[in-house]
Structure 1
Amino acid sequence: MAWWKNAVIYQIYPKSFMDSNGDGIGDLKGIEQKLDYLKQLGVDALWLSPIYLSPQVDNGYDITNYRQVDPHFGTNADLAQLIAASHQRGIKIIMDMVANHTSDQSPWFLESKRSRDNYFSDFYIWRDPKPNGDPPNNWGSNFGGSAWEYVPKRKQYYLHYYAKEQPDLNWENPLVRQAIYDMMRYWKAHHVDGWRMDVITSISKDQRFLDYPNPHHLSVVMGNQNNGPRMHEFIHEMHNEVLGPFSMLSIGESPAATSTDARLLVDPSREELDMIFTFEHMHVDRQPGNINGRWAIQPINVVQLKQTLAKWQDALRDHGWNALYFENHDRARTPSRWGNDLHYRYESATAFATVLHGLQGTPFIYQGEEIGMTNPHFSLADYEDIELKTNYEKLVNQQKTISSDNFLKAARKISRDNARTPMQWNDSPNAGFTSGQPWFKLNPNYPQVNVAADQQAAKSVFRYYQRLIHLRHTQDILTTGQFELLLPDDPHLFVYRRVLDHMQWLVMANLSAEQQTLTDFPTSGEIVIANYPDLQVGQNVQVNVLRPYEAAIIALPD
């Protein structure tokens, strides 16, 4: 069995993890200082968000040089030392690959925009203006406004699905593809174990560049940004060139993928990717069809969450592998977003963790998730994220489709910055993250919510995660057992069964702040894990009610 099928992977956002030199920015030496902590937690691999040379317009997802570590994070030698020190502890290293776009400060782009007839001219996607000078079509950027930016020297527009400082690469050009593969080989030679691939399903563009239906007469962000006509061809080529020959793990970010799309991407017989990150289950608190997109929030729809995750479990069974996550650098903190961080922070954190880690797939933990970190409840002036700022300008100031107050309410629930506040290590100044001035404001609750406090707490999120990870490592039922969703229409209870041979486990969680009653199926058995302290491992119980955010896994009798 592939190593990653019973592994747990921990994502590090280096800028906010641990600062070793007092400049206020997390760095590679800081990560190395915390390897024993990560080993204690029990994780098998670290996914590092981008650490390459970058102007940091989009916090490192705008890369200038794929082969150079940004001085903010250290040096290439520091990375080599981190990789070696991680491997000594049995922890693998997964790099973040941004192959859809680069920084506009990349030498590739600086050359490309100089003329239409140099080596790099076709490394990016250039198109002539319309006869009246307008952009080539009405495609919109995910960060607001048109997806096209004009360059007078070339008298053409270039395409950018994200910030204008992030021009999209032209994957139709085989020289671009080989440049990316060469970069991947370079890092394999430096002992990197795999890749998380940023918006990899966006690399193929529809070469007709047609306008999209536009009833509101705005720049349109449409499904054209994913699953383009040559996407599978390009990813299969990458597999043959690099991923397969060098046995590198691949996890693709696939914003628009359905479970049907996923099978085409991760079925081993197709030789493309090992896993993909779906976004589908992260939309369960979004008002469907609203012009304000992700900023039009609603309470979590538990039924939709269950049905979406179950659909992916069923679709990929024997046809691929799930990547399991609730939090990452683009997602807010689960206890604040979907749970109750005021009265049931520990219970919320562990209930959602139980639901996720009981599924078939590879669980991903985002830094701070293992201690139940929360959203910081900032004012608008405190936020840093370019996505938030550009969307505020677009939706509040220009389109006037959402009020400033409602935008702020949404930001406090779902903004990417909620996950990017510095890691909370202890209750010392700046939470033990830095001895200097932190690059980003800390969550004010760090004196209460931090690693040191949690590890000493009677109700420790960290210790609960340790136990979940141990189960993943030791219990085959979590890796290969069948999945069956129960109570699919219950608005509060997430209950499912895992079955392997004669063994049956019942995974159950109450995702509400009110007590809920269980009916209609057997709930007597032996506690495997539970997040309320009066239920002990090995205890035989009959569960008829679940208290607020209570969760447990019960081994049912044969």
Structure 2
Amino acid sequence: MKLSTPVSGLALAFIFFIQGAFAQRGPNDEVIYHVFQRSFYDANGDGHGDLKGLEQKLGYLQDLGVTSILLTPLYESFYYHNYYATSFDRIDPRYGTMKDYLSLVRSIHKRGMKIYMDMETQYVTQDHLWYKDSFKNPSSKYSDYILYEDAAQTRPSTIVFNLRDLKGYDGTLRKITTVNLHNQQVKDYNAKLFKHWLDPNGDGKFEDGVDGFRLDHMMDELDHKAALKDLFKSFWVPLIEQLKSINPKISIMAEQADWGSYGIDYLEKGGVDRVFAFRIQQAIRSFDKNKIAAYADTTFARTPKGKQQIVFIENHDIPRFATAVKRDPGKEKVGAALNLLIGGIPSIYYGQEIGMLGDSFFGKYGGITDANEIPYREAFEWYKEATGKGMAFWYKNSGPWWDSSSVKSNDGISYQEQKNDPASLWNFYRSLISLRKDHPAMINGAYRTLQNSTQQVYTFGRDTETEQVIVAVNLSAAEQAAEVTVPWPAGKITSVFGASKYTFADQKIQARLGPYAVQVWKLNK
């Protein structure tokens, strides 16, 4: 650090203390905000959330306490979610320009935050150059870029779920096929593409580059196709190594295609740093103490040292948590506490913090279409009346998902209604994030399930060499009494979150937890 003016020894000591405090937090010192940017905030009034809108709302995100932003894909596509590209090289013009993107990234970094980009380059639509040029044209230079089922190249390979095409919510039907990830030119193209987002201007500095990537639907054997085996070794690991040779500080997160998987093979063999804790997500929704404990034990015990699990209760592919718990405010807060405190790197899906609703239309309207998930990708509810500047109603008047939407009416769920209410879900999330930041054990502490005397109360501990905390969560709607044995030496305990009544003696906590109460204690030796 270059100092332009003399600094006293006391000031230097303070600087080194602060640096040390941040250093000891380690790689888990993040709270990710997973944003579906088309639905977040519309800056230019066209109904589509955009990059300028997201930049204008960075203050909101910092006020909530998040440190990192995960975007859904930005590249050009016929589909509103931007998966299945028509071109990987261009930003969807509804989101803005490259200038808008670079402004957003620089603003994020100036605030000390991080940005991650979602990438899925395994598939293209009929409008992509590789598809258009090679279809029925074996002499095309792109013939081996696409996986075909016949020599005449009239049958491009299916994608996930054996689909050959996908209908858009607006009625558009596009053919989709699989990219040949074993082709060397495809590998070279991906390396160039990903490197561009790491360092857009190529100056070796990264204030305008992403801090890592989310790899959507990553598989070692893509969609179980014999022609695309061993992709970890042949495609993903070499690509990730090239990216890390440019910026060793980036983090690569993989969405394991099998949601029943712990993702350990991705961490051990796939070259990635992080996977998603799907089993914990599924267990939290069950409100089954034994299931939550079992999946948490296995998830964290099996995660290799230096790797991380991303813990979440919502994402863009599953019904909203508030819908799953039928808007029960106690259950919503239990979900928030487990999401943020149980371990790993927490990820919050936009609107989760205010309890937005959304269920699937899967199978109700035309089978598999890209409309099925619109209900949990709706416009962020900024205002009580669902009208006002920035509302991203890009799907307005487009079908039954709009007709049945609660967002367009006064559903009692909005940031405006919650920001000044100390008892609101939004403020509960904010207080939990603050709690996490104040306690290193909540960030890097090892997880352990703690047994207690009550089936409806889930207890666990997080500990580092310097701090130990115990979390108790009442999973029921009734008051519960629980006895918890403290596994670490403690002279006394201090309540750092919650208002439960408790006593502590002989290394045992006797507590009475209100309905769906969350209580956190810090141990003092």
Give the TM-score taking structure 1 as reference length: 0.75
Whether the 8 Å contact between 2:75 and 2:90 is mirrored in structure 1 is yes
Which residue matches 1:507? 471
* Structure 1 residue 199: Cα displacement: 0.7
Instruction: Summarize the alignment of residues 440-479 of structure 1 with structure 2, pairs less than 5 Å apart.
Output: 441=402, 442-444=405-407, 446=410, 448-479=412-443
Q: Does residue 87 of the first structure (1) align with residue 87 of the second (2)? A: no
Gaps of 5+ in 2: 1-22, 166-174, 201-208, 503-507
* Structure 1 residue 166: Cα displacement: 3.2
For the residues of structure 2 that align with 1:353 and 1:172, how far apart are their CA atoms? 42
Q: Does residue 265 of the first structure (1) align with residue 266 of the second (2)? A: yes
Give the letter for the 1:332 counterpart: P
Which residue matches 1:238? 239
Which residue matches 2:276? 277
Q: 1:355 to 1:426 in 2, by over 3 A?
A: same
For the residues of structure 2 that align with 1:500 and 1:102, how far apart are their CA atoms? 46
Which residue matches 1:552? 519
For the residues of structure 1 that align with 2:494 and 2:288, how far apart are their CA atoms? 30
Q: 1:155 to 1:452 in 2, by over 3 A?
A: closer
* Structure 1 residue 492: Cα displacement: 3.6
Task: Give the SS at the match of 2:119.
Answer: strand
* Structure 1 residue 279: Cα displacement: 2.9
* Structure 1 residue 207: Cα displacement: 5.6
For the residues of structure 1 that align with 2:454 and 2:189, how far apart are their CA atoms? 51
Which residue matches 2:206? none
Q: Does residue 68 of the first structure (1) align with residue 55 of the second (2)? A: no
For the residues of structure 2 that align with 1:18 and 1:449, how far apart are their CA atoms? 16
Task: Give the SS at the match of 1:250.
Answer: strand
Which residue matches 2:8? none
Q: Does residue 527 of the first structure (1) align with residue 495 of the second (2)? A: yes
- Which of 180, 198, 208 aligns to 2:216? It is 198
Q: Does residue 323 of the first structure (1) align with residue 330 of the second (2)? A: no
Q: Does residue 109 of the first structure (1) align with residue 153 of the second (2)? A: no
Give the letter for the 1:327 counterpart: E
For the residues of structure 1 that align with 2:154 and 2:440, how far apart are their CA atoms? 60
Whether the 8 Å contact between 1:232 and 1:265 is mirrored in structure 2 is no
Q: 1:281 to 1:436 in 2, by over 3 A?
A: closer
Which residue matches 1:373? 356
For the residues of structure 1 that align with 2:457 and 2:513, how far apart are their CA atoms? 9
Instruction: Summarize the alignment of residues 429-440 of structure 1 with structure 2, pairs less than 5 Å apart.
Output: 429-430=386-387, 433-434=390-391, 439=396
For the residues of structure 2 that align with 1:435 and 1:478, how far apart are their CA atoms? 35
Instruction: Summarize the alignment of residues 202-217 of structure 1 with structure 2, pairs less than 5 Å apart.
Output: 204=222, 208=226
* Structure 1 residue 159: Cα displacement: 2.3
Whether the 8 Å contact between 1:64 and 1:104 is mirrored in structure 2 is yes
Bigger shift: residues 459-468 or 85-94: 459-468
Whether the 8 Å contact between 2:33 and 2:350 is mirrored in structure 1 is yes
Instruction: Summarize the alignment of residues 325-474 of structure 1 with structure 2, pairs less than 5 Å apart.
Output: 325-337=312-324, 339-341=325-327, 344-345=328-329, 347-375=330-358, 383=361, 389=365, 391=367, 416-430=373-387, 433-434=390-391, 439=396, 441=402, 442-444=405-407, 446=410, 448-474=412-438
For residues 170-201 of structure 1, give each alpha carbon's deviation from its aligned partner in whole angstroms, at most 9, with x where no partner exists. 11112112111111011112312211110122
Identity of matched residues, % = 22
- Which of 98, 105, 121 aligns to 1:99? It is 121
For the residues of structure 1 that align with 2:355 and 2:337, how far apart are their CA atoms? 13
Whether the 8 Å contact between 1:423 and 1:433 is mirrored in structure 2 is no
* Structure 1 residue 367: Cα displacement: 0.6
Which residue matches 1:178? 188
* Structure 1 residue 495: Cα displacement: 1.6
Q: 1:429 to 1:207 in 2, by over 3 A?
A: closer
Q: Does residue 251 of the first structure (1) align with residue 253 of the second (2)? A: yes
* Structure 1 residue 336: Cα displacement: 2.5
Query: Structure 1: which 4+ aligned runs deviate by more than 6 Å?
Result: 257-260
Which residue matches 1:18? 41
* Structure 1 residue 423: Cα displacement: 0.4
For residues 377-396 of structure 1, give each alpha carbon's deviation from its aligned partner in whole angstroms, at most 9, with x where no partner exists. 6xx8xx5x7x8756579xxx
Bigger shift: residues 239-248 or 189-198: 239-248
Give the letter for the 1:370 counterpart: E
Whether the 8 Å contact between 1:96 and 1:198 is mirrored in structure 2 is yes
Which residue matches 2:158? 159
For the residues of structure 2 that align with 1:175 and 1:32, how far apart are their CA atoms? 35
Give the letter for the 1:61 counterpart: Y
Q: 1:155 to 1:103 in 2, by over 3 A?
A: closer
Whether the 8 Å contact between 2:267 and 2:304 is mirrored in structure 1 is no
Give the letter for the 2:296 counterpart: L
Whether the 8 Å contact between 1:340 and 1:513 is mirrored in structure 2 is no
For the residues of structure 2 that align with 1:505 and 1:188, how far apart are their CA atoms? 38
For the residues of structure 2 that align with 1:519 and 1:22, how far apart are their CA atoms? 56
Q: How many residue pairs are counted as aligned between the two chains?
A: 465
* Structure 1 residue 74: Cα displacement: 1.5
Whether the 8 Å contact between 1:100 and 1:203 is mirrored in structure 2 is no
Task: Give the SS at the match of 1:154.
Answer: coil
For residues 56-89 of structure 1, give each alpha carbon's deviation from its aligned partner in whole angstroms, at most 9, with x where no partner exists. 1x62111111221112212222111111222222
Q: Does residue 8 of the first structure (1) align with residue 26 of the second (2)? A: no
Q: 1:206 to 1:26 in 2, by over 3 A?
A: closer
Task: Give the SS at the match of 2:117.
Answer: strand
Q: Does residue 48 of the first structure (1) align with residue 78 of the second (2)? A: no
Give the TM-score taking structure 2 as reference length: 0.79
Instruction: Summarize the alignment of residues 119-134 of structure 1 with structure 2, pairs less than 5 Å apart.
Output: 119-128=141-150
Give the letter for the 2:212 counterpart: G
Task: Give the SS at the match of 2:144.
Answer: coil
Output the aligned Cα RMSD.
Answer: 3.3
